Structure 1
Amino acid sequence: MPHPHLPSGIRSRQIDVATGLNMHVLEAGEPGRPLVVLLHGFPELAYSWRKVMKPLADLGFHVVAPDQRGYGRTTGWDARFEGDLRSFSLSRIATDVLALVQALGASQVHAVIGHDFGSPVAGWCALTRPDVFRSCVMMSAPFRPAPPVGASKAGPPPFLAELAALERSRKHYVWYYSTAEANADMQNSPQGIRDFLRAYFHVKSGDWDGNRPYPLKAMTAEELARLPTYYVMDQGADMAATVAPFMPTPEQIAACSWLTDEDLAFYASEFGRTGFQGGLNWYRCTTVPGMQTDMELFAGRKLEVPCLFIAGDRDWGIHQTAGALNAMEAGIPAYRGTFLIPGAGHWVQQEAPEQVMDVLGRFL
């Protein structure tokens, strides 16, 4: 079935890769040019890069954006909650990217660019295989280095119990996303998957007035409780109920040029078909002890390739982990700067593609 809604100049195809996936990719520009790989986050798809792919190709690159393991039209992954969780670890997802590069017949990637949960994947690609991934752009989620040896088997962080003990009892969204109920809560939400996604995209965007982020002092319950409820949820609420009060008005929807009804319909149809469990398994790998032990081999290793960070200045994702932004800026020797796009929220390459391209064009 052909991929709908694609801007002119973007093609769609399926590629078998050595990690066992039949990977759906969008691409622009001619093969043989320097390769740029774009990695989406949650709950997104290769489609989330639609506004920057042709402009990148116009700069002379072969641009490829896959639906990653667990998403969209890529097949060959385990969709069960009780399935092969380790296949969704950061190392395995990065190996999928390496396998895609090899399947494309390339030996090097000029730049690997990741947004949201795609950002740590991009960073991990560049950290572990700098011979292949020659530069890296991370968006919305600052790079965090490999865990110290032994850390991956530790139990839950103290702030979880502290959040639950607050007078207004709270929970952290990553641990909610790790529950068996999370997928059905969203896929079968009372408001319907389309309105759920509309509210979710809206409340994390620059369009919601409540997004006025600032750095947190520490990973304590008192500090974390300052985050919006889409990050630190009320104890009794699921994610569909959490975002429902922030459903934009018909006037706001009509004015939302960065996410049209047609765009939203495509996201809703894809996640309605696949569910969210594949993407949620990425989060579970960060909360289930022992799922990241293979990352410990790289403990203490620095990210050495030239790197850049881009986010909207109204994106709380920059600050959801206290100290992460400053640590990234200080810890990458070839760091090329932090660029915050005025007025944009979490979905920066969809909300402000021209400004993102301005930064990317100079870096690339």
Structure 2
Amino acid sequence: MPASDKITIAPHLVFDTITAGTPGAPLVLLLHGFAESMHCWRTQVTALGDMGYRAVAPSQRGYSPGARPDPREFSHYLIDRLMDDVMAIVAASGYGGARFHLVGHDWGGSIAWGIADRHHERLASLTILSRPHPNAFNRALATDGEQAQRSRHHRAFLEPDAADVVLANDARWLRERLAANGVPADAIERHLAVLGNRSAMEAALAWYRARGAIRGPLGPIRVPTLYIWGDADDTVGRAAAEGTVDFIAAPYRFEVLPGVGHFAADQAPEQVSELLLEHLAAHPA
């Protein structure tokens, strides 16, 4: 099982993490999305440690109580700050100048795409779950009415009462959304232990409020990329998923998981671990 740890990058930024493997082994950094936590990667962190990697999965800015600037100041949650956190976590883990493997789901995928664009020379490989390349997502939003419908909750999260809605009735909305996507009951409780309070939820929603409704375009990705998409994903349609290939300028593998929803790492953990390990072995750091 993963070990619990903390990583400090500044006096006011202390991140809760789960880790496995020997420090100094090739690093794999795993970034969660909304509405989950570092615990979505428990199976993958364990598998990576068993196979000789150093796996680190942080609960990111706002999700960790020790790294929760005032969410009313949206500038604390701009994606540039989220990306800077990632690179600082890598350095604080002892890999300041080394190449590493990066994995991201949902919002963590958005951050990972940005890092692959900005710091491609630092990445040995990139693995993304669910979140298409931002250019493919933007194109689908503009041309595919189905994708616009799937993404309508992004605007709802900008409303002032969004945290109240999500947490009402013992976080009923959140519980039902995770359960409908095949997330096991014990995993739901682990995520709610992190996110099921107003302070954490307001900070998580600040990510959306800092970005607004628009995703900035990126250049072509020059890092070997594995993109995993479940064809039952209720937030990402086929047009956006299949269109990601148009924005990759490196070895690319697109894997579709039949019947799997948005939270693949929790719903199909063994499949995700197997694909991830194959990708890392093909592109060593």
106, 109, 124: which one aligns with 2:114? 124
Deviations 1:230-252 (CA, angstroms, capped at 9, x unpaired): xxxxxxxxxxxxxxxxxxxxxxx
- Is the 1:108–1:134 Cα contact (8 Å) retained in structure 2? no
CA shift, 1:196, in A, is 3.4
Match of 1:60 in 2: 52
Match of 1:108 in 2: 98
Deviations 1:169-226 (CA, angstroms, capped at 9, x unpaired): x992111101111012222x1x312x433211122x1x5xxxxxxxxxxxxxxxxxxx
Q: Distance in 1 between matches of 2:200 and 2:10?
A: 25
- Is the 2:99–2:121 Cα contact (8 Å) retained in structure 1? no
Q: 1:264-279 counterparts in 2 under 5 A?
A: 264-273=188-197, 274-279=199-204
Q: Distance in 1 between matches of 2:233 and 2:196?
A: 26
Structure 1 residues 271 and 59, CA, compared in 2 at 3 Å: closer, same or farther?
Answer: same
Task: Give me the TM-score of the superposition, normalised by structure 1.
Answer: 0.68
- Is the 2:133–2:244 Cα contact (8 Å) retained in structure 1? yes
Q: Distance in 2 between matches of 1:283 and 1:143?
A: 17
1:362 aligns with 2:274: no
- Is the 2:136–2:240 Cα contact (8 Å) retained in structure 1? no
Aligned to 1:281, what secondary structure does the other structure show? helix
259, 264, 272: which one aligns with 1:348? 264
Structure 1 unmatched runs, 5+:
1-7, 149-156, 165-169, 208-257
244, 255, 259: which one aligns with 2:184? 259
Match of 1:69 in 2: 61
Structure 1 residues 147 and 95, CA, compared in 2 at 3 Å: closer, same or farther?
Answer: farther
Q: Distance in 1 between matches of 2:137 and 2:74?
A: 19
Q: 1:1-364 counterparts in 2 under 5 A?
A: 8=1, 10-18=2-10, 20-71=12-63, 73-80=64-71, 83-106=72-95, 107-145=97-135, 172-187=152-167, 189=168, 191-193=169-171, 195-203=172-180, 205=181, 207=182, 259-260=184-185, 262-273=186-197, 274-287=199-212, 301-319=219-237, 323-364=239-280
Q: Distance in 1 between matches of 2:151 and 2:277?
A: 40
Structure 1 residues 57 and 199, CA, compared in 2 at 3 Å: closer, same or farther?
Answer: same
CA shift, 1:317, in A, is 2.9
- Is the 1:140–1:315 Cα contact (8 Å) retained in structure 2? yes
Q: Distance in 1 between matches of 2:12 and 2:243?
A: 36
CA shift, 1:300, in A, is 6.0
Higher helix fraction (1 or 2): 2
CA shift, 1:115, in A, is 0.6
- Is the 2:13–2:67 Cα contact (8 Å) retained in structure 1? yes
CA shift, 1:282, in A, is 1.3
CA shift, 1:99, in A, is 0.5
Q: Matched residue pairs, number? A: 273
Percent identity over the alignment is 28
* Counterpart amino acid of residue 69 in structure 2: D
Aligned to 1:27, what secondary structure does the other structure show? strand
* Counterpart amino acid of residue 182 in structure 1: A
- Is the 1:38–1:113 Cα contact (8 Å) retained in structure 2? yes
Which structure has the larger Rg?
1
The CA RMSD over aligned residues, in Å, is 2.9
Structure 1 residues 142 and 192, CA, compared in 2 at 3 Å: closer, same or farther?
Answer: same
